[in-house]
Amino acid sequence: MSPATLTIDLGAIAHNTAVMKRVAGEAKLMCVVKADAYNHGAQRVIPAMEDAGADAFGVATLAEAARIRQLTDKPVLAWIWQPGEEIPEGIEVGVPGLEHLRWLVNHNVKCPVHLIVDTGLNRSGIDEEDWPQAFDLATASGLEVRGLMSHFACADEPTHPYNQVQRDAFQRAITLARAHGLEVPVNHLANSPGTLTGPENAFGMVRPGIALYGLNPVEGTGADATAGAGAELQPAMTLSAGLTAVKRISKGEGASYSLTWTAPEDGWTAIVPMGYADGIPRAWQDHIEVTIGGRRYPQVGRVCMDQFIVWLGADRAGINVGDQAVIFGGGGMSAAELARRVGTIHYEVMCAPGGRVVREYVDKQESHEATV
């Protein structure tokens, strides 16, 4: 048993999926479950999403897609791959460039495809000057083209003018594809913020990720940017650990490597058994506040490989070995607040816990454990 636990609320996952399904309106809902469902554990998360209305699942790599294919009968789409890779049976693929499209055609690969068109993110996708060639090749080859896909650059800023630039470009691509003989029945541009901020972003399918796990991607008012439907989202992940020591320390004494922190008065420290081997980077030190018994306490000194120190102050307040310290999630700092403190985004905070951390799944009926 590990003293550190990543608790995943499957009820929250189901709730968030239902929220996004409702917001999507008539558009289909593709749930993005890459990176093991954003570190929530795809094996347990996917059934909850299916029950709540998921129409399809999206991942990054073909290896991920093959694993997800074993967990669901819904369509599974992967969009990061190289020509020459074996396409797993039953997988749909995003086509990010002309080279990929030519390889599929030349090798007579029979799988449904979604042509990725670059509408301005300039990351991957077929450039606009190549759209006619790509659409002609797809039409002539008889490839089963399910639709077009692209990705917003600034959807987390709903009023950013570039969102309209990309919507216009995506509509041009759809119109041109149909003029070149492709039906492209299901097209998708909207990520989580795009889905939450306007029906004009939906087209035929939406492709949210972070919102399904309960974190709002749209900046607004309040600690977690609870604007619009994002206010209904319920964070599904809590990271906590049981204290392994509670110790006295005298004023002026240092603690942890290099003694970079010294006690400001006689008092108490507590030891949290997590470190950078478990997904608490050294760069987070001096920014973390853990919650013990409903009260926040600052992390002090260097974060070590296996543990870090918390300053309890002059009053031990009845804290004992075994008490739970919440690093982020239910009852503690949100992942969004921690992200702001350490200068990153909540996506990265959620993906950080690993190593010896143990996942625990909870719902109204039961809880289970599995190693991360």
CA distance linking residue 213 with residue 227, whole number of Å:
16
Give residue 149's pLDDT: 98
Angle between helix 62-69 and 42-51 (nearest 10): 60
Pick the CATH number of 10-232 from 3.40.50.300, 3.90.320.10, 3.20.20.10, 3.40.50.12780: 3.20.20.10
Closest CA to 48 of 18, 5, 7: 18
pLDDT of the chain along its 372 residues, tens only? 578 999 999 999 999 999 999 999 999 999 999 999 999 999 999 999 999 999 999 999 999 999 999 999 999 999 999 999 999 999 999 999 999 999 999 999 999 999 999 999 999 999 999 999 999 999 999 999 999 999 999 999 999 999 999 999 999 999 999 999 999 999 999 999 999 998 999 999 999 999 999 999 996 633 343 346 778 999 999 999 999 999 999 999 999 999 999 999 999 999 999 999 999 999 999 999 999 999 999 999 999 999 999 999 999 999 999 999 999 999 999 999 999 999 999 999 999 999 999 999 999 444 444 444
Quote the pLDDT of residue 24. 96
- Report pLDDT digits (tens) over 318-344: 999 999 999 999 999 999 999 999 999
Residue 269: its pLDDT value, please? 98
Asked whether residue 205 is marked as a ligand-binding residue, the answer is no
Give the residue among 189, 183, 158, 153 at the shortest CA–CA distance from 171: 189
Please indicate if the annotation marks 305 as binding a ligand.
yes
Helix (H, G, I), strand (E, B) or coil at 61: strand
CB contact at 8 A, 235 and 214: yes
Burial 170-206 (b: 16+ CB within 10 A, else e): beebbebbeebebebebbbbbbbbbbbbbeebbbbbb
CB 163 within 8 A of CB 155: yes
Residue 307 near residue 284, CB atoms below 8 Å: no
Active centre residues (catalytic): 34, 257
Contacts 24+ apart (CB under 8 A), 255-261: 255/300, 255/301, 255/309, 256/300, 256/301, 256/302, 256/304, 256/308, 256/309, 257/301, 257/302, 257/304, 258/302, 259/301, 260/301, 260/302, 261/300, 261/301, 261/309, 261/311
CATH top-level class for 237-362?
mainly beta
Q: Read off the pLDDT of residues 113-123 as tens digits, 9 standing for 90 and up.
A: 999 999 999 99
Rounded to whole angstroms, the Cα distance separating 56 from 146 reads 13
Instruction: Give φ, ψ of 227 to 5 degrees.
Output: -110, 135
What's the length of the chain? 372
Q: What is the number of other CB atoms lying within 10 angstroms of the CB of residue 130?
A: 16
Domain residue limits, the chain: 10-232, 237-362
Strands 237-242 and 324-328: antiparallel
pLDDT, tens digit (0-9, with 9 covering 90-100), for 290-317: 999 999 999 999 999 999 999 999 999 9
**pLDDT over 70 for what percent of the chain?**
95
The secondary structure of residue 87, as a DSSP letter, is P
Distances (CA, A) of 98 to 125, 134, 135, 149, 170: 9, 7, 10, 15, 18
